[in-house]
Amino acid sequence: MKHFSILLFFILLLTSCDYFNVQEKVSKTSEIVAIVNTDKLFKDDIKSVLPTNISKEDSIVLVRNYINDWAIKQLLLKKAEHNSSLEDVNEINTLVKDYKESLLINNYKEMLIKQQLDTIINDAEIEDFYLKSKDNFRLNEELVKVKYLHFDDNVINKKEFQDLFESDNIEDLEALEKQQLSFKFYHFNDSIWTQLDKVLLKLPFSKENLLKKTKLLQKQDSIGLYLVAIKDVLVRNDTAPLSYIKPKIKQMILHKRKIELIRDIEKILVKDATKNNNFKEY
């Protein structure tokens, strides 16, 4: 209670933001705003956490909360230190030491990786990686090459849209794209693989319907007309197509390069240390 009385005394000093506008030429003791045991909290410690353009009332609240949190932390820390066994302290010190060393080493490795890692990956390397590991790239989802279109019932040229949609002619597709303002939504690029689950969120068709190659599926409801064409289908456990997992393969190649780079750096470090008599194994 004695410590909290001291704490409250200093909190009462902070009744205005003007407290932080004192002249620079003040003694170090006058800059103390709170004391818990032998630990001191200074004015500058609080100034650094106060946001700019804050009202006088808000600043008082923030300052009081900050001092209170700081005091509780110091009191808890002191209690924890007093009630911890030597074994606990030693274990914590070991954990802190290990964590600090890991952070320093990992930061150094990341710096070396940024400086030395070759991040350029050409298509030939990606294809070679894919072919060597093809059996490992199995789908856990259904993919489709699909195009679809949805428009209102009140469009005038409904038949024209349907004819253009069914056509395989590139000029017809371009003509259809020019009418995009008449559509609620559409997707015409059926040369890429798309997750079936994402398509199902857009279209009122069953999964069974969309897992069959078809030139045209259509459905009419109160909202309008849906047109769908399924060009190709891949199901679960099929080999994933290269075009679909290309980004993943790039990440895998980069990860492999990182591991190899770190191993090479470690070998060089050991070799140099041994050569310079900085490392000896008995």
What is the tens place of the pLDDT at every residue in 124-156? 999 999 999 998 999 999 999 999 999 887 777
239 belongs to a structural domain = no
Q: Are residues 115 and 255 in the same domain?
A: yes
Which helix (H) or strand (E) segment holds residue 248: the answer is helix 242-275
pTM: 0.68
Q: Are residues 185 and 210 in the same domain?
A: yes
How much is the pLDDT for 17?
Answer: 42
Q: Are residues 122 and 253 in the same domain?
A: yes
Owner of token pair 């069953």: 206
Model confidence band, residue 31 (pLDDT cutoffs 50, 70, 90): confident
164 belongs to a structural domain = yes
Q: Are residues 107 and 147 in the same domain?
A: no
Model confidence band, residue 47 (pLDDT cutoffs 50, 70, 90): confident
Q: Are residues 191 and 61 in the same domain?
A: no
90 belongs to a structural domain = no
State yes or no: pLDDT of 240 exceeds 80.
yes
Q: Are residues 15 and 100 in the same domain?
A: no
Domain count of the fold of the chain: 3
How much is the pLDDT for 223?
Answer: 82
Q: Are residues 167 and 114 in the same domain?
A: no
**pLDDT tens digits, one per residue of 86-116:** 888 899 999 999 999 999 999 999 999 999 9
Q: Are residues 6 and 73 in the same domain?
A: yes
State yes or no: pLDDT of 16 exceeds 70.
no
Give dist(CA 256, CA 254) in Å, integer: 5
- Token pair in block for residue 14: 């902070």
Q: Domain containing 109: what range?
A: 96-127+247-282
**pLDDT tens digits, one per residue of 194-208:** 999 999 999 999 999
